[in-house]
Structure 1
Amino acid sequence: MLRLKSPATVVTLAALTALGPLATDMYLPAMPAMAEALDTGPDQVQLTLSLYMAGFAMAQLLYGPLSDRFGRKPVMVVGIGLFLVASLLCAFAPTIEWLLAGRFLQALGGAAGPVLGRAAVRDIHGPIEAGRILSYMASTMALAPALAPIVGAGLLLMFGWESIFILLAVYAAVMLPLLILALPEPLPLDRRQSIHPAAILANFRMLLGQRSFMGYTLTNAAAFSGLFAYLSGSSFVLIEFLGVSPFQYGLFFTVIVVGFFTGTLLSGRYSHRLGRDRLVHRATLMCALGGGIMALLALAGVFHAAAVVGPHILFMVGVGILMPQTMSGALAPNPQCAGAASSLFGFLQMTIAAVVGAAVGQMHDGTSRTMAVVVALGGLLAVAGYLCLVRPAQRAAATDPARQET
C-alpha cells in the first residue's frame, strides 16, 4: 500500500486523472475516418466529443457527493469499471448511434478519475500546497495528451479506429487492480458528509453563492472552452481543410501539449513566489493573446497550419498555468465538502465547454475561422472572469479575516 504523501501516490492519481484527456485526445486524428466508416457527417462525429463532455459534467455532480460520504476510493473503482465496459462498447459500435451511447457511458465512468483525483489532492495536501501538487500532477499527466494523438494516429493507420477504444479499455483494466490494491483511502472518517439530497443541495447552493469559488470556476471554464473549441474543430481544420496527415496532426498536437506542459511547470515553480492570483492573471492574458492572434490570422485569410498551431501553443501555456491554480483556488476554502466542490467545478467547466464544442461543430464553415474566433473569445472571457470575479472576491477576503482560506 502506498503512503498518502508519497510521489508514487501523486503519480497514481495523475494516471487515474489522465483517463479524461486520453479518452478525449486519442481518437481526435481518427474523427474524419470515423465519419467515413460510419457513413455520417463531421457534425455527428464532433457530437461524440460534446456528448462525452456533457456526460462527464453530469457524472461529476454525483461522484463528488458520493465520495464525500463513502470515500474517494470505492467510488473511483466503480467509475473506472464502467469506463472499461463503455470503451469496449465504443470499439465494437456498428453505427454512430451506438458510438454516441458508448461515449456517453464512457464519460460517466471516466469522470471519476479527474473529480476524485482533485478532491484527493485537497484531502491530502491542504489548501495552499494543493496548488503546487496539482501543477506537478498536470505536468506528469501532460504526457498523456502529448502522446495520445500520435498513438491514436498509429493505431488508426495499422489497425483501424476501433483499436483506439480497445487500448483505452486495456488502460482501465490495468488501473483497476492498482487502484484497489495500492492506493490508500485519502478521506478520513471524521470528514464524511451526508448524502441526503437536502445536504447535497445545501452544499451546492453555498458554493454557487461563494464569490471566490464562482470566480475561479468561471475563469477556468472560459479558458477550457477555448481549449475545447480547438479539440472539437482542429482535426477537421488541419486534416480536411489544410491537408495535413493524421500522423502530422498528432505531431502538431504534441507540440501544443508541450506548451501546456511548460505552463504547468511554470505554475508549480512560481506558485509560492508569485502567488495564485498573479499567476492566474498573467495566464489569462496569455490565453487572450494567443487566441486573439489565431483569430486575426484566420479572419485575414491566412490559412496555414502554423497560423493555427503557433498561436495555440501560447494559449496552452496560459492554460497550463491557469488550470491547476484555479482548481486549487476553487477548492481551497471548502475542505468540508471538497468532493462536492470538485464536482460542481467540473460540472460547470465541462457543461460550458460541451456547449461551445457543439457550437463549433454546427457553425464550422470549412475553414479555421469559426474555431479561431471561439478560441479567442475563450481567452478574452477568462481575462474578464479574473478581473470581474476573482480579483474582487480576493480583495473582499483580504479585508475580512473570517473569510480567509483554511
Structure 2
Amino acid sequence: MTREFGVDVSLVQLTLSVFTFGFAAGMLVLGPMSDRFGRRPVLIGGVAIYVLASLGCLLAPSVEALIGARFVQALGAAAGPVIGRAIVRDVYTRVEAARMLSYMASAMALAPAVAPLIGGWLHETFGWQANFAALALFGALILLGTLGLLRETNDSRDPRALKARRLVGTYRMLLTDRRFVGHTVVLTAMFGGLFSFISGSSFVVIDVLGVAPGQFGLAFACVAGSYAAGAYMSGRVGHRLGLERAILLGALAGALIAGGGAGLAWAGIETVPAVIAPVAGFFFCCAFVLPNGTAGAINPFPHNAGSASALLGFLQMGGGALVGYGVGALHDGTTRVMLTSIALCAITALIAHLTLVRPDE
C-alpha cells in the first residue's frame, strides 16, 4: 500500500486505527437502533454498508479515500457482533445464552487462525486489493443468508430507544447497574489480555524469539486453536458449572497460568514454549469467561439488549485497544511486557469478579 499510494507506513497503519474506532463507535449506534427498529433490518443494513464499503476500499484511488472507506466499513461491520449478541439474548434463557455464545466463540476463533493464511495467499497471488474483494464476497454471502434465513427476534421494540434523553438514560442505567458493570470489567480485562498478545505477538515471536515470519502464523494458530477448544468445552460443561462459577474458574485459572508465564519471562526464560504455552492456556481460560460474562452482562436487560450489547462491545473494544497500544508502546525487546500485561489483565478480571459480581447470581 505504501508503494501504491506513495505514502509512509504510519499513514497506512491509520487504516487499522480508523477501523477500530469506527467499529467501536458503530456499536453504540447500531445497538439502540436494533432496540427501536428490530434486529433484522438493522443487521441487513449494516452488512449492506459493509459490502459497499469493502468495494470502496478495493477501488480507493488514494490512501485518504481508503481510510474513509475503512471507517464506513467498520460502522457496517459492527452490526454483526452487537446484534448477534442481542439476538442470542432475545431467543435463549440466561444459561442457554451462555452456551450458545460459547459455540459462537469457538467458530469465531477460527478467523484469526485462518484469516492470515488466506490473506497472505491472496496478497502474494493477486495483490493487497484481493483481500478487500474477499471481504466484499464474504459480506455478500452473509447478506444473502440474513435475508433468507434470519427471522425477527425483537418482540418488544422501544419506539423511544433513539431519543437522546432515552439513549443517555439507558446508558446511565447500565453504567450504574452492578451486574452490568461487574461483568463488563471482567470481560474488558480478559479482552485486554487477548489484545496484549494480538498487539505484541509479532514483536515477541519474530523479533525476540527469532521465529521466521512464515512460521508466525502457526504460532498464532496454536493460540487461536486453544481458544476454540476452550469455547467448545465451555459450551459443553458451562451449564453444569453454572454461569458465575464458570467465569470464576476461568478467571482464576487464567490468572495462575498467565502469572506463571510472566514469572518465566522475568526469570529470563525466553523460548517459544515458555511464551506460547502460557498464552494458549490463558486463551483457553478466556473462552470460559467471555461467553458466560457476556450472557451475565446482557441477560438482565431484555428490553435494552441491543443497547447493553452495544455498550459492552464499545467498552471491551476500547479497553482492549488501549491495553494493546500500551503493550506496543512499552515493548522493551523482551517477552516481559507482553506476558506481564496478560497476567495483570487476568488478575484484574479475577479481582473484579470477586468484588463486583456475586457468585450466587
State whether TM-score is above 0.5: yes
Match of 1:138 in 2: 105
User: How far does the alpha carbon of each residue in 1:181-239 deviate from its partner, in whole angstroms, 9 at most, with x for none?
Assistant: 32111112x44342211112221111111101111111000000110121122123323
- More displaced stretch, 210-219 vs 130-139: 130-139
Match of 1:312 in 2: 279
Match of 1:166 in 2: 133
Match of 2:265 in 1: 298
Q: Is the 8 A contact 2:38 2:154 kept in 1?
A: yes
Match of 2:192 in 1: 225
1:112 to partner: Cα distance: 0.3
C-alpha distance 51-297 of structure 1, shift in aligned 2 (>3 A): farther
Match of 1:192 in 2: 158
Match of 2:39 in 1: 72
Match of 1:374 in 2: 341
Distance 1:285 1:92 in 2: 48
SS in 2 for 1:151: helix
C-alpha distance 153-305 of structure 1, shift in aligned 2 (>3 A): farther
Match of 2:183 in 1: 216
| Mapped pair 1:388 → 2:340 | no
Match of 2:76 in 1: 109
1:255 to partner: Cα distance: 1.2
TM-score where L is the length of structure 2: 0.90
1:328 equivalent among 266, 285, 295: 295
Structure 1 residues not aligned, in runs of 5+: 1-33, 399-406
1:346 to partner: Cα distance: 0.6
C-alpha distance 36-324 of structure 1, shift in aligned 2 (>3 A): farther
SS in 2 for 1:185: coil
TM-score where L is the length of structure 1: 0.81
SS in 1 for 2:25: helix
Alignment of 1:115-130 (within 5 A): 115-130=82-97
Distance 2:146 2:227 in 1: 27
Q: Is the 8 A contact 2:95 2:243 kept in 1?
A: no
Distance 2:209 2:3 in 1: 18
Distance 1:172 1:40 in 2: 30
C-alpha distance 130-180 of structure 1, shift in aligned 2 (>3 A): same
| Mapped pair 1:244 → 2:194 | no
Q: Is the 8 A contact 1:149 1:253 kept in 2?
A: no
Give the letter for the 1:159 counterpart: F
Q: Is the 8 A contact 1:193 1:337 kept in 2?
A: no
Distance 2:125 2:218 in 1: 17
Q: Is the 8 A contact 2:37 2:157 kept in 1?
A: no
Give the letter for the 2:171 counterpart: F
- More displaced stretch, 381-390 vs 157-166: 157-166
| Mapped pair 1:147 → 2:111 | no
How many percent of aligned residue pairs carry the same amino acid? Answer: 45
Distance 1:202 1:147 in 2: 41
1:45 to partner: Cα distance: 6.3
C-alpha distance 138-98 of structure 1, shift in aligned 2 (>3 A): same
Alignment of 1:248-287 (within 5 A): 248-287=215-254
Q: Is the 8 A contact 2:109 2:227 kept in 1?
A: yes
- More displaced stretch, 326-335 vs 291-300: 291-300
| Mapped pair 1:204 → 2:168 | no
Q: Is the 8 A contact 1:145 1:257 kept in 2?
A: yes
SS in 2 for 1:253: helix
C-alpha distance 308-104 of structure 1, shift in aligned 2 (>3 A): farther
Give the letter for the 1:244 counterpart: V
Give the letter for the 2:129 counterpart: E
1:321 to partner: Cα distance: 0.9
1:98 to partner: Cα distance: 5.1
Match of 1:27 in 2: none
User: How far does the alpha carbon of each residue in 1:147-198 deviate from its partner, in whole angstroms, 9 at most, with x for none?
Assistant: 222222323333344322321121112211221232111112x443422111
Match of 2:51 in 1: 84
1:62 equivalent among 29, 39, 42: 29
C-alpha distance 265-62 of structure 1, shift in aligned 2 (>3 A): same
C-alpha root-mean-square deviation of aligned residues, in Å? 2.4
> What number of residue pairs does the alignment pair up?
359
Distance 2:276 2:305 in 1: 36
Distance 1:356 1:317 in 2: 20
C-alpha distance 93-245 of structure 1, shift in aligned 2 (>3 A): farther
1:107 to partner: Cα distance: 1.9
Distance 1:40 1:331 in 2: 42
Q: Is the 8 A contact 1:40 1:96 kept in 2?
A: no
Give the letter for the 1:192 counterpart: D
